[in-house]
Structure 1
């Protein structure tokens, strides 16, 4: 990894691309600290900071959500739009044809994704502004501040979408993912300071402080190593292509493989599961309803507490621990969405038909339906392994947070995104260095 980075900075073309990416990320972080005009940002920050259920959304936006900056929506509308369009390619035949239509079809789908992103940004902006207006968090009366706030947040989301595409084209690729990465990484220093003050500085004596430091570092390193294995792990299914005559020449006969990643669905199932549980809390918070427990709490307030990740695994009493029921629902949702999303993005029947058309077959498996059944069986087992691994990564921080009161914002989802984006970005840099070396050799 270090060798790749060193060679990238030694190459002028790649170095300029990296500097362009760095400039873009600096602009992102500056924008995350510019408040939306007309709102009482301090009051909003106090309100949202006390609601730990919104931590996930704040991490994804790099803290700009609680600051209510012009980048408050960040790239979440684009991510949501991309997922929706990807799902629609299965439901709508026209979209499916576009996806198979090569570069032109993908450009058209990207155009639809941009339009939908703007629509979602407007809807989310209006919802946020109405919620804050109902709680008297605007500095002045009238509809002008409301309109300005919606336009500012929508423009911020559109600008970040454009900047992400510029980083993809003129930088090193993965523009949207890199922006998401810097948002998450921006929160890590404050979280590490919190862990230091809570468990090391407040340990009482040097021995306890050293033990606490070793445990914290060990857990973080072990989780990163496990996630790297999860991201790179794959099952390779061998494929043999039959020999055939074309004219006087014999073609085919080579061997290949179908790589099935252990984490086939990536971080999408975790995002879906977290979003579904947090959506009721977000809607209720704008209506002034907070998660509560006890005799005076309503059924809705208790339900919201079940959905609140910050209330899970609290071992202080059974009355609090029972809300860990939400964790079981979360695990079930992660596994369900892992199967659902993989079934949408990976079609064993289509793979089997393509292999058959090209004269390929899996050794020991007949072409056609037996191949489809074989791929489906292997895929289902891999999905389960990957889903369980994701659950382990995501649940461990929740358990430590609930049991030991670790007040940090990063989660297993954050760690998966960080590792996945870094690995993919390094692969992009390596491929660009390789292409440049080939070009230099040919010229």
Structure 2
């Protein structure tokens, strides 16, 4: 406890860090207040009790409950994330975007500008679908077309404002702005999930003992998730010695840390998008629903979870392959006079790195698939659906990863001012603590 208070005191003594933390907290407070401001012309009482399940429930969690409340921030940062994913994929397939990625700071600014424009377009389309599908006539106090036009304009402006707040946290706060906004939205739903599970258990379904066991299981799952995110395979790299005058350069051994889960949460997001297709088809053709469509619409069914796990494994290999280029790593290593001991430079090096990536990606993808289906397994075992979301899936991965990144940012400020870090046993490693070998995890 004394170590904790000493660390907090050291954090408060660093003026720059103190200002950044207070600025971040202020922005997060504005975001949470905005999530409770209902769209003009909507009766909030008619929206009470509308539970969101499946993908809509996940979107509502990411938005901190704004989605179900018809808030001005109802769409949250998801349109921006969608735009970022599209631009990232275009950077792999389209030569123009590949050129921009190689132009350094100027190219990055152009990509950011294009991403913002694409975010506006995606937000406008999602706003149309949100107004038409989520806000029924009974909840509207203003008649169309005035309501639809005003709601779509406000939703688009709300998402752009949220994106601006995320960028401000990144620039003037403690970093990871967009990720922090998502994390705060997820944490905001945790009290509701805990209270719902407590009420459910306290009414006779297992009692408080089962409630305590669930918390122990949740702690074990969080520790397991930390191991998956932190797990790396270090490849030693030896650099040749260079003597210039009386000074020696190089000759040191470094390591390329290849992450066990280099794809982050992207495989789960892609797989969830595909698994949402059967239920979408069922909504358009309710009379044509078969037992197959029904089983794939039930996210607790065996068919759904088995298919979901297989898709995650496949997408993990795919996303890792397009984000990590062993050939480029081998060429960069050769240009800098580096080599892997016992492996010839050039093609042999790239083949060796590729084989290591393949070997660590398989267990990483299996563990990721297991984490993704844990919420469904928790629901089958009797856990309340609101609380079960925190037993795994995208929400837990984002929570753990963002917390590690934030702690790493704070620790870097402490170490730069010659204070002790946050831990006695070693440095905290977040997702940003990667080498050129890893493209990092996108959110």
Give the TM-score normalised by the residue count of structure 2: 0.86
Post-superposition shift, 1:136? 6.0
2:282–2:289 CA contact under 8 A, matched in 1: no
SS at match of 1:363: coil
Superposed CA deviations along residues 381-403 of structure 1, whole A, max 9, x for unmatched, are 21112111112222222112123
Between the aligned partners of 2:23 and 2:118, the Cα distance in structure 1 is 27
SS at the partner of 2:76? coil
Distance 1:18 1:249, change over 3 A: closer
Q: Which residue of 1 aligns with 2:41?
A: 38
Q: Which residue of 2 aligns with 1:89?
A: 91
Q: Is the 8 A contact 1:4 1:430 kept in 2?
A: no
Q: Are the aligned partners of 1:45 and 1:68 in contact in 2 as well (CA < 8 Å)?
A: no
Give the direction of change, closer, same or farther, for the CA distance of 1:165–1:118 in structure 2 (3 Å limit): same
Q: Is 1:167–2:169 an aligned residue pair?
A: yes
The equivalent position to 1:372 in structure 2, one of 350, 355, 370, is: 350
Q: Which of 398, 415, 418 is residue 396 of structure 2 equivalent to? A: 415
Among 211, 214, 236, the residue aligned to 1:213:
211
What does the per-residue CA deviation read over 1:162-210, in whole Å, with 9 as the maximum and x for residues that have no partner?
00000111101000000000000000011011111112x1237xxx535
Are the counterparts in 1 of residues 42 and 139 from structure 2 also a CA contact under 8 Å?
A: yes
* CA shift digits 1:48-88 (9 cap, x unpaired): 41645521111111111011111010000111111111121
Find the counterpart in structure 2 of residue 293 from structure 1: none
Name the structure 2 match of 1:76: 78
Please give the alpha-carbon distance, in whole angstroms, between the structure 1 residues aligned to 2:281 and 2:150.
22
The answer on 1:306 being equivalent to 2:287 is no
Alignment of 1:16-415 (within 5 A): 16-46=19-49, 48-49=50-51, 51=53, 54-132=56-134, 137-199=139-201, 201-203=202-204, 209-246=207-244, 249-278=247-276, 281=279, 298-299=288-289, 303=293, 305-309=295-299, 312=300, 323-408=301-386, 410-411=389-390, 412=392, 413-415=394-396
Instruction: Name the CA shift for 1:244/1:98 in 2 (closer, same or farther; >3 Å).
Output: same
Instruction: Return the alpha-carbon distance in structure 1 between the equivalents of residues 417 and 99 of structure 2.
Output: 34
Paired residue secondary structure (1:186): helix
Q: Which residue of 1 aligns with 2:410?
A: 429
Contact 1:4–1:429 (CA under 8 A) maintained in structure 2: no
Q: Residues 302, 152 of structure 1: CA spacing in aligned structure 2 closer, same or farther, 3 A cutoff?
A: farther
* Number of aligned residues: 413
CA distance in 2, matches of 1:157, 1:145: 18
Specify every segment of 5 or more residues in structure 1 that has no aligned partner in the other structure, as ranges: 291-296, 313-322, 439-443
TM-superposed deviation, 1:298: 3.5
Q: In 2, Cα distance between the equivalents of 1:4 and 1:89? A: 42
Q: 1:304 to 1:100 in 2, by over 3 A?
A: farther
- Is 1:15 the equivalent of 2:5? no
User: Relative to structure 2, which stretch is displaced further, 75-84 or 396-405?
Assistant: 396-405
| Aligned twin of 1:318 | none
Residue 308 of structure 1 and its aligned partner are, at CA, apart by: 3.6
Instruction: Verify the 8 A CA contact 1:54 1:282 in the aligned structure 2.
Output: no
Q: Secondary structure at the match of 1:34?
A: coil
Question: Structure 1 residue 247: deviation in Å?
Answer: 6.0
Cα deviation, residue 16, structure 1: 1.6
Gaps of 5+ in 2: 420-443
State the alpha-carbon separation in 2 of the partners of residues 178 and 271 from structure 1. 18
Deviation at 1:340, TM superposition (A): 1.3
Moved more, 247-256 or 356-365: 247-256
SS at match of 1:172: coil
CA spacing shift, 1:4–1:281, aligned 2, 3 Å:
farther
Report if aligned partners of 2:278, 2:296 keep a CA contact under 8 Å in 1. Answer: no
The Cα of 1:145 is off from its aligned counterpart by 0.7
TM-superposition CA deviations, 1:364-391 (whole Å, max 9, x none): 1111111111111110121112111112
1:115-164 per-position Cα deviation (integer Å, ceiling 9, x unaligned): 11111111100122233477665333221110000011101100000000
Return closer, same or farther for 1:50/1:167 CA change in 2, 3 Å cut-off. Answer: closer
